[in-house]
């Protein structure tokens, strides 16, 4: 069963604005990842943050992790129309599995 | 970066037929591959973990006789949906894990439509 929950379920913003998505999980983790999925396609890995890290940056992406609250956030700055996609967080489960959150559908309007 | 190829991208078949989906790691060896199913506007549901040279490990509720998984080499895993029915229509995605990292590299997915 999925342990991650994400909010919002859907987010619509104007190009140039920042987009923030949140993820909560239930059990202890070694790391948390964020993936992106364009409509009808596979997932693309964006960033991995380890449990002993609090913040990580990659280009226009900023990820935070609060293990005390069992939550993470993904911030996309200066969004572009091409950022339109679904975004999923995933935590490491047992047996090398990933447990995915429900996802946030992001729409960036140009 | 690591590339995973999944084929076919779309398949339409009649009820009762079997469909095979291939997942290949193109530039690395994958001892472990994963098969997911995704319903419209929902997240990924793990179906099974495919291990090279051994039997796949299925998640609870997934029929192993219905969804046959073979991982015959370090670069190829196949999922066969046997005697497909309309309720099997879905988006199936494979992924491969590279080395000790927890990062998974995904295929582009296969849209299965059973008439």
Q: Tell me the pLDDT of chain A averaged across its residues.
A: 92
Provide the greatest CA pair distance for chain A. Answer: 42
Below-50 pLDDT ranges, chain A: 1-2
Q: For B69-75, what is the mean pLDDT? A: 89
Which pLDDT value is given to residue A1? 38
Residue with the two structure tokens 């066969």: B80
- The DSSP element (H or E) to which A83 belongs, if any, is none
| Residues of chain A contacting residue B43, judged by C-beta atoms under 8 Å apart | 2, 88, 100-103
Mutant choice from A4, A42, A94, A99 vs B, greatest count of B C-beta within 10 A: A42
Which pLDDT value is given to residue B46? 94
Cis ω before A8 (30° cut-off from 0): yes
Q: What percent of chain B has pLDDT over 70?
A: 97
From the CA atom positions of chain A, what is the Rg in Å?
13
Spatial neighbors of A94 by CB under 8 A, at least 6 apart, are none
B73-90 exposure pattern, b = at least 16 Cβ within 10 A, e = fewer? eebbbbbebeebeeebbb
CA dist., res. B114 & res. B33, Å (int)? 25
User: A45–B6: do the CB atoms touch at under 8 Å?
Assistant: no
CA dist., res. B69 & res. A1, Å (int)? 21
Q: What is the pLDDT of residues B2-43, one digit of tens each?
A: 899 999 999 999 999 999 999 999 988 888 899 999 998 889
| Residues of chain A contacting residue B56, judged by C-beta atoms under 8 Å apart | none
Q: How many CB pairs under 8 A join A and B?
A: 55
Which pLDDT value is given to residue A97? 86
- The token pair at A21 is 């998505």
Which pLDDT value is given to residue A3? 54
> Residue B55: is its pLDDT beyond 50?
yes
Asked if residues A91 and A97 have their Cβ atoms less than 8 Å apart, the reply is no
User: A42–B4: do the CB atoms touch at under 8 Å?
Assistant: yes
Which pLDDT value is given to residue B94? 97
When CB atoms are compared, the residue of B34, B44, B109 closest to A41 is B109
Q: Tell me the pLDDT of chain B averaged across its residues.
A: 93
Closest by Cα among A26, A29, A21 to A103: A21
Residue with the two structure tokens 């098969």: B35
Check CB contact of B91 with chain A, cutoff 8 Å.
Answer: yes
């Amino acid at each position: 069963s999925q342990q991650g929950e994400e909010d919002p379920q859907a987010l619509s913003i104007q190009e140039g604005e920042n987009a923030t998505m949140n993820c909560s999980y239930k059990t202890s983790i070694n790391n948390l990842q964020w993936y992106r999925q364009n409509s009808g396609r596979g997932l693309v890995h964006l960033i991995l943050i380890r449990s002993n890290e609090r913040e990580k940056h990659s280009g226009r992406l900023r990820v935070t992790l609060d293990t005390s609250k069992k939550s993470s956030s993904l911030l996309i700055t200066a969004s572009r129309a091409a950022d339109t996609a679904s975004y999923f967080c995933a935590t490491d489960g047992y047996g090398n599995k990933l447990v995915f959150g429900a996802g946030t559908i992001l729409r960036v309007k140009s | 970066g690591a590339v995973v190829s999944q084929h076919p991208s779309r398949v339409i078949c009649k009820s009762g037929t079997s469909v095979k989906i291939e997942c290949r790691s193109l530039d690395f060896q994958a001892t472990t591959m994963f098969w997911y199913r995704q319903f419209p506007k929902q997240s990924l549901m793990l179906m099974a973990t495919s291990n090279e040279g051994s039997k796949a490990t299925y998640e609870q509720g997934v029929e192993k006789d219905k969804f046959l998984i073979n991982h015959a080499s370090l670069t190829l895993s196949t999922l066969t949906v046997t005697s497909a029915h309309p309720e099997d229509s879905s988006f199936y995605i494979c992924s491969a894990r590279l080395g000790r990292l927890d990062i998974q590299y995904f295929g582009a997915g296969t849209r299965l439509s059973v008439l």
